[in-house]
A = this chain, B = another copy of it.
């Protein structure tokens, strides 16, 4: 379903550059193993788990649709007179035992498949921003379908953006069906990587499934390698199923889409203000989601999406860029590892309105901590500003360098006889020139161990002055234009595009 790549010329060079390098020669790559940062002690983890089980057993969740009540009570959940569904511990444990583990999230191009086994880490976009940010002027304007398609194309070209969950809402779409269908088309025709999306209501799902099956070349082909995931806010915290979203989820499960079980409480508002409480509630809610999914389709692929957000308690406004958020997300990552479930959470969100220094530290700290904690899917990892209100293309491009550095940190320090370099030290100190410049051991790790930024500036102040003080944002803007002026490697084959346009109302 990918357009055949012509040999020779500019397009081929672009294609070669855009293709993932062989694993062995890349200093960083998707799926490096994290987990060396453990914000919680083992006792903390157990205590959070036990408390979540108690919450599910004694408090339970309201709001499940009749279909969900039916499947969950059939599995062993108990509906009380107050309408809440309560979950005996044994039920949760049974459902955890049959939940899907070590899953692969597929991409349209298998080269970009995501292996979510163990503590393998992947970074990508996500969000529902309603604005696009002008990186220079600070203008926030309504985001459109064209913006979303551009984001997909940028993500396709950026090595360290491993997947595209739709980062913003196409506000120029007039109705739910048009929005959901065209969101898919804008994403899929812009990137070969794994795509995540939401659906407004269950009513829009059938046509979107028809579209996806057509793209895949048939329903069976899609079900064999589902390259789109349903990001699903199945709860309205605290402890209430989001009735309509649950119906969407059921439709997606039946249709063969993996789901992201997204619990997005906000500490101090819809979740406890204490970080431990926010983690506990998110865990309880996601465990309820695990019960839900597996009561319908045992072993159906689902991401444990503990996404609690932080509030600035002075105003109640969200603060995705805070240290509290960074450590909260890392703790959630650790809980996902505890269950051995594929975990996803949000990091990399800037409160800063522009890609400025504040944005850098907000995004960098939380991204690297999520990676070090072994989060399988780091959502919102780049491009998001104004506490998820705005998406900035230049920031996404700079985020590629930032995440490259974060991945280098996740990779960590390899300790072997060779890397310890005792013999190199002996030669340099006792026989050699007294330095390691240009030695065989230095040259041999130059490409394999070191990450070089694409736009990040490492020249000396003197060289920088002589070069006219190049500005970071201006460089990102140039790269944005270059990527968009290049060929769209992700575009569908013309005959597929034509047949889809004949069947569906596609606006990209």
Are A40 and B413 in contact, with the CB atoms below 8 A?
yes
Size of interface on A: residues with Cβ below 8 Å to B: 127
Q: Which of A40, A51, A239, A421 has the most CB of B within 10 A?
A: A421
Which of A54-70 touch B at CB < 8 Å?
54-55, 58-59, 62
The answer to whether residues A273 and B446 also contact, given A323-B405, A365-B365 and a CB cut-off of 8 A, is yes
Q: Tell me whether A272 and B326 are in contact (CB under 8 A).
A: no
Give the residues in chain B near A437, CB-CB below 8 Å.
268-269, 316
- What is the CB-to-nearest-CB distance from A80 to chain B, in angstroms, rounded to a whole number? 11
Name the residue of chain B whose CB is nearest to the CB of A50: B420
Asked if A419 is at the interface of the complex by the 8 Å CB criterion, the answer is yes
Known: A276-B421, A420-B276. A435 touches B360 (CB 8 A): no
User: Which residues 419-467 of A have a CB within 8 angstroms of B?
Assistant: 419-422, 424-426, 428-430, 434-437, 439, 441-442, 445-446, 449-452, 456-461, 464-465
User: By the criterion CB–CB under 8 Å, are A460 and B386 in contact?
Assistant: yes
Q: What B residues does A43 contact at CB under 8 A?
A: 415
Once the chains bind, are B362 and A365 in contact (CB under 8 Å)? no
B469 touches A365 (CB 8 A): no
Contacts of A352 in B (CB 8 A): 456-457, 472
Minimum CB–CB distance from A320 to chain B (whole Å) comes to 10
Q: Is A358 among interface residues, defined by CB-CB distance under 8 A?
A: yes
Docked complex Cα distance between A316 and B353 (Å): 36
Proximity string of chain A (391-413) to chain B, C-beta cutoff 8 Å, 1 when within and 0 when not: 00001001001101111110111
Query: Does B269 lie within 8 Å of A436, measured CB to CB?
Result: yes
Is the pair B312, A458 in contact by a Cβ cutoff of 8 Å? yes
Note all chain B residues with C-beta closer than 8 A to A365.
364-365, 367-368, 405-406, 409
B324-A408 in contact (CB<8A):
yes
Top-6 shortest CB links A-B: A360-B360, A361-B364, A277-B421, A323-B408, A323-B405, A272-B421
Besides A331-B413, A357-B472, 14 new A-B residue pairs in contact (Cβ under 8 A), listed by A number = A58-B426, A140-B465, A272-B425, A272-B442, A273-B446, A274-B419, A314-B446, A324-B451, A355-B357, A360-B362, A362-B405, A362-B456, A386-B461, A389-B460
